[in-house]
């Protein structure tokens, strides 16, 4: 019997992505798996059911999930979804386990083997499986587009019979995966781009995209190539140095994040008050509370003449390409485990060991186990 891999329709509000696009679904079929999709699973990403060749379409989520050996999802599963699965099956997707401990407990009870895409270690070998990066790249691209859309100015310089228009100035704070893609996109649209990050390694990356790196004299390299939280003194120094650049930009894109912590607050209200009339802030850190004091996650607000946009789940706004990239990450993660027509879990492989959340009734991820055990006390 071939392994059955199931693709349910995403149920989270506003989620338009799907875990497998037709091309990657066909690759799994070629690997000897049976691919089963829920009716309309790819519809919101513009993949109609009939684009999935050689896959079976099942009407109902329960029927689909209960027969699957592997279920692949994008957004974190609900308890109901876990309860639809057969005992001992495998579930892969984003989990955000710290916010969804009841789901973890449900998976533990049903002996589900779960792999969290966000826990895949960010090592070179795992780059092609790194869904945090693929989806952050989508978000960074879209942030620049949103900025140009909400702005009352052109991004490029325009020389016309009606006069010459100066290009917009875009400032990007946080030059990680999303920030770099925002820089590249704003540059392609013709803006003058400046960027800042507390990790000095980003200087070269920013400059390679044709943007100017702002050296504000605050550096905060943390563990594993990430940033650490700034001290109060560093925060004050950073804000003082940033104020001038923020007051001159037309569009400010903020992406600063520290793993496992709320987004650092970098833009207080008084800095917004000092911005140009018609300036726009796109706060990509809204998911973690935002980098701007005035950000309202999921909303667009105005303060004086400044628009502050705090979008949530941005990758879902580019659902077709975001799904294609996510599906490739899943394929690259899963295919090495699928030798001889069955799922082989090599616990000595750090990618498998570190991304596993639950297996055979155990919580394998230390931080999640402590959290769930803390809940039970």
Interface residues with ligand NAD (CB under 6 A)?
122-124, 126-127, 130, 132-133, 136, 173-179, 196-199, 202, 225-227, 230, 255-259, 264, 266
Instruction: Give 57-81 as a DSSP string.
Output: EES-HHHHHHH-SEEE-SSPPPHHH
Choice between 35 and 172, CB closer to ligand NAD: 172
Active site residue 56: no
Strand-by-strand arrangement of the 4-7 sheet: 56-58, 34-38, 4-7, 70-72, 90-93, 113-116, 356-359, 362-363
Active site residue 228: no
Contacts of 6 (CB under 8 A, 6+ apart): 36, 37, 38, 58, 64, 65, 67, 68, 70, 71, 72
Instruction: Show the DSSP H helices in 31-130 as ranges.
Output: 61-67, 79-84, 101-109
CB of 174 vs ligand NAD, minimal distance in Å: 3
Set 52, 69, 114, 130: catalytic member = 130
CB of 228 vs ligand NAD, minimal distance in Å: 8
Choice between 125 and 342, CB closer to ligand NAD: 125
Exposed / middle / buried, residue 264 (Cβ in 10 Å: 0-12, 13-18, 19+): buried
CB of 261 vs ligand NAD, minimal distance in Å: 9
Set 43, 226, 228, 369: catalytic member = 226
Set 127, 200, 208, 370: catalytic member = 127
- Between the two ends of the chain, the Cα-to-Cα distance in Å is 43
Active site residue 133: yes
Active site residue 122: yes
Active site residue 130: yes
Choice between 90 and 202, CB closer to ligand NAD: 202
Packing angle of the helix pair 366-376, 101-109 (nearest 10 deg): 90
CB of 291 vs ligand NAD, minimal distance in Å: 8
CB of 77 vs ligand NAD, minimal distance in Å: 23
Choice between 47 and 95, CB closer to ligand NAD: 95
The set of catalytic residues is 122, 127, 130, 133, 226
């Amino acid at each position: 019997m071939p392994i059955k891999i199931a693709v349910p329709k995403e149920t989270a509000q506003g989620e338009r992505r799907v875990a497998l696009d037709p091309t990657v679904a066909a690759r799994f079929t070629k690997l000897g798996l049976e691919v089963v999709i829920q009716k309309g699973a790819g519809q919101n990403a513009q993949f109609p059911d009939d684009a999935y060749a050689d896959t079976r379409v099942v009407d109902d989520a329960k029927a689909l999930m209960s027969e699957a050996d592997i279920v692949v999802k994008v957004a974190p599963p609900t308890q109901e979804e876990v309860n639809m699965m057969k005992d001992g099956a495998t579930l892969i997707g984003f989990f955000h386990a710290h916010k969804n401990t009841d789901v973890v407990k449900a998976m533990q009870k049903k002996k589900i083997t779960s792999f969290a895409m966000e826990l895949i270690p960010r090592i070179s070998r795992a780059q092609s499986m790194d869904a945090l990066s693929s989806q952050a790249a989508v978000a960074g691209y879209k942030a620049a587009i949103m900025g140009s859309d909400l702005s009352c100015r052109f991004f490029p310089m325009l020389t016309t019979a009606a006069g010459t228009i100066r290009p917009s100035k875009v400032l990007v704070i946080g030059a990680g995966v999303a920030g770099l893609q925002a820089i590249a996109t704003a540059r392609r649209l013709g803006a003058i781009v400046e960027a800042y990050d507390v990790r000095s390694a980003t200087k070269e990356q920013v400059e390679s995209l044709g943007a100017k790196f702002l050296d504000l004299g605050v550096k905060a390299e943390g563990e594993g190539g990430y940033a650490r939280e700034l001290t109060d003194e560093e925060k004050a120094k950073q804000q003082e140095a940033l104020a001038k650049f923020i007051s001159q930009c037309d569009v400010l894109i903020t992406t600063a994040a520290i793993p496992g912590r709320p987004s650092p607050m970098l833009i207080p209200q008084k800095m917004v008050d000092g911005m140009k009339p018609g300036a726009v802030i796109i706060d990509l850190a809204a998911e973690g509370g935002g980098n701007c004091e005035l950000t309202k996650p999921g909303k667009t607000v105005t303060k004086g003449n400044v628009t502050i946009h705090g979008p949530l789940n941005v990758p879902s706004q580019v659902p077709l390409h975001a799904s294609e990239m996510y599906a490739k990450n899943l394929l690259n993660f899963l295919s090495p485990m699928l030798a001889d027509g069955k799922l082989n879990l090599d616990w000595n492989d750090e990618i498998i060991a570190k991304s596993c959340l639950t297996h055979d009734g155990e919580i394998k991820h230390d931080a999640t186990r402590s959290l769930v055990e803390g809940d039970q006390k």
